[in-house]
């Protein structure tokens, strides 16, 4: 079973999964944790982790992926947290920066991507990369 933990995509990955007929056989649930408080409340991401590293960071993406496993019946999770724009970027984390976390059968994976374009483009690229990579991890 798959669960999603989404920030910058606001549920787009879960929606793309449930657009597929038969997804109830493999899609368990989606968490939309857009705010920092939601990351903590819904997924158990420690507030101190967000304070130390920022919401858009590897530790937070990994904690989101782990939290989604712990708070669902899924064995596979996709987590995304990023800066979709047009505002909110910094020199260290410009618009288009997205951290990904995947947990597949107890193994945690993470990576960062930087996508070009406007808000819609960044969000769509995030969706596409998240799905592509989870498929690769599943073999």
Residue for token digits 């992926």?
Answer: 65
What is the extent of the structural domain holding 22?
A: 2-122
Residue 33 in any domain: the answer is: yes
Closest CA to 97 of 83, 77, 118, 117: 83
Radius of gyration of the chain (CA): 14
Q: Is residue 41 part of a domain?
A: yes
**Contact indicator for 75, 89 with CB cutoff of 8 Å:** no
What is the Cβ-side half-sphere exposure of residue 59, based on CA atoms within 13 angstroms?
11
The whole model's pTM is what?
A: 0.97
Residue 39 lies in a domain: yes
| Nearest of 83, 90, 85 to residue 112 by alpha carbon | 83
Measured in degrees and rounded to the nearest 5, phi and psi for residue 90 equal -130, 175
Domains held by the chain: number: 1
Structure tokens at 96: 């288009």
Question: In CATH, what number is assigned to the domain containing residue 65?
Answer: 3.90.950.20
38 part of a folded domain: yes
Q: Is the residue at 87 inside a domain?
A: yes
Does the residue 127 lie in any domain?
Answer: no
- Is 52 a member of any domain? yes
* Residue 132 placed within a domain: no
Digit-by-digit pLDDT tens for the chain (139 residues) are 999 999 999 999 999 999 999 999 999 999 999 999 999 999 999 999 999 999 999 999 999 999 999 999 999 999 999 999 999 999 999 999 999 999 999 999 999 999 999 999 999 999 999 999 999 999 9
Is the CB of residue 130 less than 8 Å from the CB of residue 13?
A: yes
């Amino acid at each position: 079973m798959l669960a999603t933990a989404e920030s910058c995509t606001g549920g787009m990955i879960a929606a793309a999964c449930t657009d597929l007929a038969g997804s109830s056989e493999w899609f368990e649930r989606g968490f939309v944790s857009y705010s920092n408080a939601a990351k903590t409340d819904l997924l158990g991401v420690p507030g101190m982790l967000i304070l130390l590293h920022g919401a858009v960071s590897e530790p937070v993406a990994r904690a989101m992926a782990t939290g989604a496993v712990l708070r669902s019946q899924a064995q596979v999770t996709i987590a995304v947290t990023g800066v979709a724009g047009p505002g909110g970027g910094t020199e260290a984390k410009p618009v288009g920066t997205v951290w990904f976390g995947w947990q597949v059968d107890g193994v945690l994976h993470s990576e960062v991507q930087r996508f070009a374009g406007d808000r819609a483009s960044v969000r769509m690229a995030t969706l596409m990369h998240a799905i592509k990579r989870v498929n690769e991890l599943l073999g």
